[in-house]
């Protein structure tokens, strides 16, 4: 099969670094190499660095480094779920678990590392996990459903990330157990650890220091931890994150040199003791150390790929700066964080009240930055890192770097002040000069576009803020400015339009168009303005000139369906309905020949209504006490509920009553997109509240509030906004959250997408709606209360108003005649819409 | 209710001005044919087109949102947002489709369409 001119390369390990090696090699030279990849995991390579985002709603596909097709498209033979079990160095061939034998000219070991599990009695019990692969996360997620208390052994970078994940999974208690006397001892100093600990405790983590775990208690599944000092901690599940262990077992079998404490020994060229075998990534021991980060791994991939095409290249000591993601508290360390006087001058800023600690180490001559630590506020991380790496000459008052200048110009010159050679994205080795060129010459002016064209920000993601600044900087230099404006008729964003309409007190579309727009408007701006007017003033959406600016659903207060008929959905708050009301629905549906179906939101949808029948149908429904369900609007759909403590033997609170209260409160309110909610009576979550825009789950002490969840085509779990709050507080927080969303989201953006795009994400949202950093919560609550107080049932108004009612006919010249083209077929004793005719 | 005779088409009294919402549309039935009538109130400009969207043959165009694209007056189908010029009936975002347009006149508060 292979010709003699082909060089056969086998890669063992389809992880982040193994994948990157393939990508780099084929980018350099495709023709002369024949690449075969073996991976032990059944998944193709995925982004392990962002593994925790799997819990935040990313799918396994979202995390892939490249889809499976990518390999075949580039002629790479890929075997996943089939680890290599033997290397025959004499014959230069490898053998896989399934018995495949493949010959190589060069062999690349990229086997990564596994979690190090200390030899504690009981680690084999059910409920004990490690945190390394997608499979681990699946196991953790399903076990967490029935667990209440969880712990993590290990207070390092990964351990804290795992502990945060436990909280996000909804466990009532999440503990961190650390052997040392403080958290993250390898990255930050004592003062920093102290501040970090307090911040994490405020988030709800319980931290136990100086604890050496001796025994994992329980019969077949874990019930608790027992420590050397005699104390115990009852838990239902445990994640062990006590460090990593390089996967060197295969290298050992093959007789390659390894280190007694783990790691495949390689030289600066990353060659093992066999010159045709290289090791890269977390399995390689180079410069006497394991580089447990992705950026140095990528650089190793580059070094080996370059050598295979004949260049001379070696791996030099690599920067180990880190910034912790996802934890809710910023933590970063860079350069030499621990350098001490007299080798340097140390400047610290310690604000216990605010939970912020910063330290920088400046060279004795005051000219360059040697390293530092940031806890609680790591905004300056990227700038400081670059200043440090590029040996940029410091300003006369280096303390401005961490304190921000007090008056006067910004300290340093920001990212635009860095030299062109400054490395911005270390994972992909992209300099400032290269990125500026992409932005200014090739017009890649968004992070997304740059990700595609340069791969910047796709590795650890740490450079994203800097890349954003760079885009802004370059655009500003060129006098460009991009905004998400509505359409050709309005040169404003949705948020700007909302503010302007409010300031100018405009209430009709034509006023808005005259004051702020041009042309005749269109199907984009009209419904948008309609929604903003409704969000601000809550007047009937069909009155004044507003009917004709609404999308067909809002215009007819019903959902248009195939064939041009409408569906009718009365509100059934919390899914609770009396037998009499059920009978009314049955009678109405029979009378008007409607198809009935239970919806996913616990109510009843009636399909197939002629536009002219709508007011009559509603007359009967209103008579029986129903109100509009707003299924047609960008508004609250339903607050789904489980039966809770009123009937369920597990329920700890009355979820139905709370769901009804919430649905009654927010019904009819117009937003940038529809929004849904749910209330569960206990942690079992039968109402699926965490898949909703806002969801509430009962606890022993009160209610947990989650926001930003989504079902639909991009499912995403909601995130915890507040725990154990009472009903009043919960409602107040929902008021603020919803109003903040309504006022700032782009059109047709669900809360999940809005939150994903929100700069600072969940921590920022918390800062705004819980801690009130912007000082706006009183206004948000007031604005929401106005909407609640001005609620009216739109259908009631139409039924009672002959002018509005007149608009509900198919032919204005023969109002009593129905559209003769409407046709139904029958199916299971009901009607269904006739299929589209697709030929034209 | 024919008033003027031409060779193959006839002017019909369709409805009153008040029957059509300002800056919007409504549908009339003329000789068994469904016609959508639209108006722009600022310029007192009126248009008549087919009510059927050629995309999935739905009788819904009169319920669409009207507006402009550059100087071109248009209507957007509520179903899949194909937009049609109200002047010549061409589809502005999919060249495969087009709709018929009809001459229209307003006299004494009455809307007349030539079909
Ligand atoms: C939760 C988490 C968070 C992290 N956060 C960060 C971060 O913020 N920043 C950062 O820089 N780094 C972070 N890391 C570390 C980063 O993920 C690793 O440095 C990186 O994945 C190393 O890549 P690798 O290819 O060497 O190893 P891996 O990605 O582990 O890939 C090795 C692959 O080889 C497979 N394999 C092993 N033996 C065999 C065999 N015999 N045959 C076939 N296949 C085999 C393994 O199953 C695995 O799939 C994090 C790691 C975790 C787990
Ligand atoms: S979530 Fe809890 S209270 Fe509600 S039905 Fe399920 S088990 Fe019962
Ligand atoms: S999932 Fe698709 S087909 Fe089903 S109701 Fe929603 S839009 Fe219609
Ligand atoms: S039916 Fe009109 S666009 Fe599809």
- Which pLDDT tens digit goes with each residue over A408-440? 333 344 677 677 877 788 778 888 888 888 888
Q: If you compute the radius of gyration of chain A from its CA atoms, what whole number of angstroms results?
A: 31
Which of B61, B65, B77, B94 to mutate to test binding with chain A, by most A CBs within 10 Å of its CB?
A: B65
pLDDT of residue B28: 96
Task: State the Cα–Cα distance between residues A70 and A274, nearest whole angstrom.
Answer: 31
Rounded to the nearest angstrom, the minimum Cα separation between B37 and chain A is 10
Distance (Å, whole) CA A242 – CA A25: 34
A441 CB-near residues (< 8 Å, 6+ apart): none
Evaluate whether the domain defined by A418-477 bears CATH number 1.10.10.1100. Answer: yes
Block residue for tokens 């504690």 = A120
Ligand 1 centroid to residue A267 C-alpha, Å: 21
**Assigned CATH topology for domain A554-623:** Sulfite Reductase Hemoprotein; domain 2 (3.90.480)
Q: Could you tell me the pLDDT band of residue A168, with boundaries at 50, 70 and 90?
A: confident
Task: Tokens 């050496």: give the residue.
Answer: A212
Q: What CA dihedral angle connects A273, A276, A281 and A283, to 10 degrees?
A: -40
Mean pLDDT of chain A, nearest integer? 89
Model confidence pLDDT, tens digit, residues A665-711: 999 999 999 999 999 999 999 999 999 999 999 999 999 999 999 98
Report the residue of chain A nearest B25, measured CA to CA: A548
Q: Is A796 on the interface with B (CB under 8 A)?
A: no
Q: State the nearest Cα–Cα gap between B6 and chain A, in angstroms.
A: 23
CB A104 within 8 A of CB A88: no
From the CA of A244, the nearest ligand is: 1
Distance CA A674, CA A612 (A): 26
Q: Which among A520, A551, A821 has the least Cβ separation from residue B59? A: A821
- Residue A680 CA: nearest ligand 2 atom is 1
Characterize A24-63 residue by residue with b for buried, 16 or more Cβ atoms within 10 angstroms of its Cβ, and e for exposed.
bbbeeeeeebbbbbbbbbebbbbbbbbbbbbbbbbeeeeb
pLDDT digits (tens, 9 = 90+) for A523-570: 999 999 999 999 899 888 888 888 999 988 999 999 999 888 999 999
Asked if A564's CB is within 8 angstroms of B65's CB, the reply is no
pLDDT score, position A113: 95
CB contact (8 A) between residue A522 and residue B69 = yes
| Dihedral over Cα of B6, B9, B15, B21: its sign | negative
**Residue A754 to residue A748: CA distance in whole angstroms:** 10
A654 lines ligand 2 (CB under 6 A): no
On average, the pLDDT of chain B sits at 90
State the nearest Cα–Cα gap between A833 and chain B, in angstroms.
12
Question: Given this model, what pLDDT does residue A18 score?
Answer: 97
Nearest CB neighbour to A840, from listed B22, B54, B63: B54
Q: Which CATH superfamily is domain A7-114+246-308 in?
A: FAD/NAD(P)-binding domain (3.50.50.60)
Closest CA to A224 of A127, A116, A117, A119: A127
Let me know if A116 is exposed, middle or buried by CB neighbors in 10 A (0-12, 13-18, 19+): middle
Q: Please name the residues in contact with A572: beta carbons below 8 A apart, sequence gap of 6 or more.
A: A581, A602, A603, A604, A629, A638
Distance from CA of A397 to the nearest CA of B (A): 56
pLDDT in tens, A188-236: 888 889 989 988 898 889 999 999 999 999 999 999 999 999 999 999 9
Ligand nearest to the CA of A840: 4
Mutate to test the interface with A, among B27, B59, B67 (most CBs of A within 10 A): B67
The superfamily (CATH) of domain A322-405 is FAD/NAD-linked reductase, C-terminal dimerisation domain (3.30.390.30)
CA–CA separation, A92 and A71 (whole Å): 24
A223 compared with B6, residue with greater pLDDT? A223
Fold for the domain defined by A128-242: FAD/NAD(P)-binding domain (3.50.50)
CATH, domain A636-789, list 3.30.413.10, 3.40.720.10, 3.40.50.720, 3.40.190.10 = 3.30.413.10
Angle subtended by helix axes A432-440 and A447-454, to nearest 10: 110
A29/A32 Cα distance (integer angstroms): 7
* Index of the ligand 1 atom closest to the CA of residue A282: 26
Q: What is the pLDDT of residues A312-359, one digit of tens each?
A: 899 988 877 777 755 678 888 888 888 887 778 888 888 887 788 899
Q: Where are the domains of chain A?
A: 7-114+246-308, 128-242, 322-405, 418-477, 494-550, 554-623, 636-789
Looking at beta carbons, which residues of chain B come within 8 Å of A521?
67-68
Chain B contact set for A802 (CB, 8 A): none
Instruction: For residue B1, name the pLDDT band (cuts at 50, 70, 90).
Output: very low
pLDDT in tens, A556-605: 999 999 888 999 999 999 999 999 999 999 999 999 999 999 999 999 99
Q: Which domains does chain B have, with CATH numbers?
A: 14-106 (2.102.10.10)
pLDDT value of position A482: 52
- Residues in B touching A551 (Cβ below 8 Å): 65, 78
User: Would you state the pLDDT for residue A405?
Assistant: 41
Topology alike, domains A7-114+246-308 and A128-242: yes
Cα–Cα distance measured from residue A683 to residue A147, given in angstroms and rounded to the nearest whole number: 10
Nearest to A812 among B22, B28, B66 (CB): B28
Residue A834 near chain B (CB below 8 Å): no
CB atoms within 10 A of CB A788: 16
């Amino acid at each position: 099969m292979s010709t003699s001119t082909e060089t056969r390369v086998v890669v063992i390990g389809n992880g982040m670094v193994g994948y990157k090696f393939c990508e780099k090699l084929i980018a350099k030279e495709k023709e002369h190499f024949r690449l075969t990849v073996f991976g032990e995991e059944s998944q193709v390579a995925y982004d392990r660095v962002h593994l925790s985002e799997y819990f935040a709603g990313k799918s396994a596909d979202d995390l892939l480094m490249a889809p499976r097709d990518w390999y075949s498209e580039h002629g790479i033979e890929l075997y996943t779920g089939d680890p290599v079990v033997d290397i025959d160095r004499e014959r230069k061939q490898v053998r896989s678990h399934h018995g495949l034998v493949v010959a190589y000219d060069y062999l690349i070991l990229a086997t990564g590392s596994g979690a190090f599990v200390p030899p504690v009695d009981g680690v084999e019990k059910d409920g004990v996990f490690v945190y390394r692969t997608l499979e681990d996360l699946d196991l953790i997620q399903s076990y967490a459903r029935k667990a209440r208390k969880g712990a993590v052994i290990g207070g390092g970078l990964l351990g804290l990330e795992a502990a945060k994940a436990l909280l996000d999974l909804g466990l009532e208690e999440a503990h961190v157990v650390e052997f040392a006397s403080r958290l993250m001892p390898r990255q930050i100093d004592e003062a920093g650890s102290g501040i970090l600990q307090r911040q994490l405790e405020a988030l709800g983590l319980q931290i136990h220091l100086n604890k050496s775990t001796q025994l994992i208690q329980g019969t077949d599944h874990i019930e608790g931890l027992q420590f050397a000092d005699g104390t115990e901690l009852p838990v239902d599940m445990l994640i062990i994150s006590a460090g990593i262990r390089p996967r060197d077992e295969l290298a050992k079998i093959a007789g390659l040199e390894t280190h007694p404490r783990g790691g495949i020994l390689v030289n600066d060229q990353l060659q093992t003791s066999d010159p045709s075998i290289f090791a890269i990534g977390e399995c390689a021991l180079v410069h006497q150390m394991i580089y447990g980060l992705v950026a140095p791994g990528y650089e190793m991939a580059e070094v080996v790929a370059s050598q295979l095409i004949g260049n001379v290249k070696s791996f030099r000591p690599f920067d180990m700066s880190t910034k912790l993601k996802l934890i809710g508290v910023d933590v970063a360390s860079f350069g030499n964080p621990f350098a001490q006087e007299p080798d340097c001058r140390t400047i610290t800023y310690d604000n216990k009240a605010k939970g912020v600690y910063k330290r920088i180490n400046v060279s004795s001559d005051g000219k360059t930055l040697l390293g530092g630590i940031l806890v609680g506020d790591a905004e300056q991380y990227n700038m400081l890192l670059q200043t440090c790496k590029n040996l940029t000459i410091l300003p006369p008052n280096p303390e401005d770097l961490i304190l921000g200048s007090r008056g006067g110009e910004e300290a340093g010159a920001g990212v635009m002040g860095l030299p062109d050679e400054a490395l911005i994205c270390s994972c992909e080795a992209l300099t400032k000069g290269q990125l500026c060129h992409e932005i200014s010459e090739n017009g890649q002016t968004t992070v997304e576009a740059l990700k595609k064209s340069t791969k910047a920000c796709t590795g650890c993601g740490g450079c994203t803020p800097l890349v954003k600044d760079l885009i802004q900087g370059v655009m500003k230099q060129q006098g460009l400015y991009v905004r998400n404006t509505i359409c050709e008729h309005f040169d404003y964003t949705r948020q700007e339009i909302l503010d302007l309409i409010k300031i100018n007190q405009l209430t009709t579309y034509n006023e808005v168009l005259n004051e702020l727009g041009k042309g005749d408007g269109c199907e984009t701006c009209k419904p948008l303005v309609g929604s903003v007017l409704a969000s601000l003033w809550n007047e009937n959406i069909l009155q004044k000139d507003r009917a004709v600016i609404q999308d067909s659903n809002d215009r007819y207060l019903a959902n248009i369906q195939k064939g041009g008929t409408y569906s009718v959905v009365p509100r059934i708050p919390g899914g609770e309905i009396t037998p009499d009301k059920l009978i009314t629905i049955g009678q109405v549906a029979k009378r008007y020949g409607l198809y009935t179906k239970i919806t996913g939101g616990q109510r009843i949808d009636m399909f197939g209504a002629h536009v002219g029948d709508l007011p009559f149908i509603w007359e009967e429904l209103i008579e029986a006490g129903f109100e509009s369900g707003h299924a047609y609007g960008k508004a609250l759909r339903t607050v789904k509920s489980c039966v809770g403590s009123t009937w369920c033997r597990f329920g700890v609170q009355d979820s139905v009553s709370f769901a009804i209260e919430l649905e009654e409160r927010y019904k009819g309110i117009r937003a940038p997109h529809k929004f849904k909610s749910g209330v569960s009576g206990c942690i079992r979550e039968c109402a699926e509240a965490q898949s909703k825009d806002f969801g509430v789950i009962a606890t022993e002490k009160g209610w947990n509030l989650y926001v930003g969840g989504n079902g639909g085509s991009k499912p995403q779990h909601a995130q915890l906004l507040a725990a154990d709050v009472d009903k009043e507080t919960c409602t107040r927080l929902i008021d603020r959250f919803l109003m903040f969303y309504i006022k700032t989201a782009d059109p047709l953006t669900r809360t999940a997408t809005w939150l994903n795009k929100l700069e600072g994400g969940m921590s920022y949202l918390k800062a705004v709606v819980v801690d009130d950093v912007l000082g706006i919560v009183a206004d948000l609550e007031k604005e929401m209360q106005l909407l609640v107080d001005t609620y009216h049932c739109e259908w009631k108004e139409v039924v009672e108003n002959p002018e509005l009612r007149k608009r509900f006919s198919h032919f204005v010249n023969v109002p009593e005649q129905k559209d003769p083209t409407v046709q139904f077929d029958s199916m299971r004793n009901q009607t269904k819409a006739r299929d589209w005719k697709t030929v034209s | 209710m024919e008033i003027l005779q031409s060779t193959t088409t006839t002017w019909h009294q369709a409805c009153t001005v008040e029957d059509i919402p300002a800056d919007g549309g409504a549908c009339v039935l003329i000789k068994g044919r469904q016609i959508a009538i639209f108006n722009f109130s600022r310029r007192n400009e009126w248009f008549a087109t087919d009510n059927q969207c050629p995309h999935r043959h739905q009788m819904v165009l009169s319920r669409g949102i009207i507006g402009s694209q550059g100087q071109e007056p248009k209507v957007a189908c509520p179903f899949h947002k194909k937009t049609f010029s109200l002047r010549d009936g061409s589809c502005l975002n999919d060249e495969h489709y087009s709709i018929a347009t009809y001459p229209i006149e307003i006299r004494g508060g009455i809307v007349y369409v030539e079909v």
